[in-house]
Amino acid sequence: MPTSSRRRSRFTIGFVLAAVLAALFTAAPAQAADGAITGLAGKCVDVAGAGSANGTAVQLYDCNGTGAQIWSNPGDGTLRALGKCLDVVDRSTADGAAVQLWDCSGGANQQWQVTAAHDIVNPAANKCLDVRDNNSANGTRLQIWSCSGGANQKWNAPASGGGGGTPSGFVVSEAQFNQMFPNRNSFYTYSGLTAALSAYPGFTTTGSDTVRKQEAAAFLANVNHETGGLVYVVEQNTANYPHYCDWGQPYGCPAGQAAYYGRGPIQLSWNFNYKAAGDALGIDLLNNPWQVENNASVAWKTGLWYWNTQSGPGSMTPHNAMVNGAGFGQTIRSINGSLECDGKNPAQVQSRVDAYQRFTQILGVSPGNNLYC
């Protein structure tokens, strides 16, 4: 069972790099592409009954690889399936207007922008494609709604970015992710992870294809260890909860003495870490740390914040360790080296290495050198 009881220095070495989020709503370059559009709970945008009649409902459904779930982005601003366009009913711009399949007409209600933040926006309404009532059940109707950044508005679409050979643009496909984490908690969605990637655009996009996949495997292997295979969202030892408030900080613990326990893929803990991560990500985690256990994208962003900006007890960030060739062992040192490295806990180190080797095998790359710390 994972624990977050690490030395304070883990999160306090170095200054947090400010995350540049202004690009979140910049549309990705248009490109001709075909593939599934996945979203909430890893399900697919689906044409009901595979019908091609005008007015056929567009819904959320288990991904099945059929033509009813293959969408084309021809580069003209439309999204097409079964030869027809994704269309807002009655050209409405109101919250809650349903979407459907309809003959392509060039109308503004058939124009969509797939953004770098994984929103699908109808510019005429300035609203996002949305899963009604945040309901992941098969058959839930899709609609447009004011963009909120919620998981029910995040999509991995054919135009959401290049590279890696996957619809999301991430070097790990959803199928590979599921293979890595067969028993994962449903909270840790693939769509939540890919929605978080825009916060740190250098992550798994730096260097050769081998280096990019090694970094993804390294991050996910450490996450696997921290969360018991993406099973645990919060720290399991509740007795530790009151210990993570440092009242010596000028901002104190506004969410309460016991509110800053370990959460998320790298088990973020302590009030000063919630403050630092929140400031970097533009999210108020000091006053509302529960966002890390309630919003998959926020949870993944906190893990990426640590990975890309913090050295912990090591001498480099885990990101730099992988892209500069220092090796997987240095990522362990930067995450929990003071408790595990240099012979302190070889079994824990081996657990991380085993996961890394397994994940690189799934991704079809060598693990490289310097696996141990």
Q: Are 62 and 99 in contact (CB under 8 A)?
A: no
Classify residue 133 as left (phi > 0), alpha (psi -120 to 50) or beta. left
First to last CA, the chain: 22
Please tell me which residue in 174, 226, 235, 340 is annotated as part of the active site: 226
Query: What count of residues does the chain have?
Result: 373
CA-based nearest residue to 195, from 47, 88, 303: 303
Say how far apart CA 294 and CA 307 lie, in whole Å. 21
Positive/negative CA dihedral, 113, 114, 117, 121: positive
Say how far apart CA 6 and CA 268 lie, in whole Å. 10
Q: How many CB atoms lie within 10 A of CB 1?
A: 8
Helix, coil or strand: residue 43: coil
- Retrieve residue 151's tokens: 């998981």
Say how far apart CA 348 and CA 357 lie, in whole Å. 15
b/e burial code for range 138-169 (CB count within 10 A of at least 16 → b):
eebbbbbbebebbbbbbbbbbbbbeebebbbb
Note if 226 is an active site residue: yes
Active-site residues, by number, are: 226
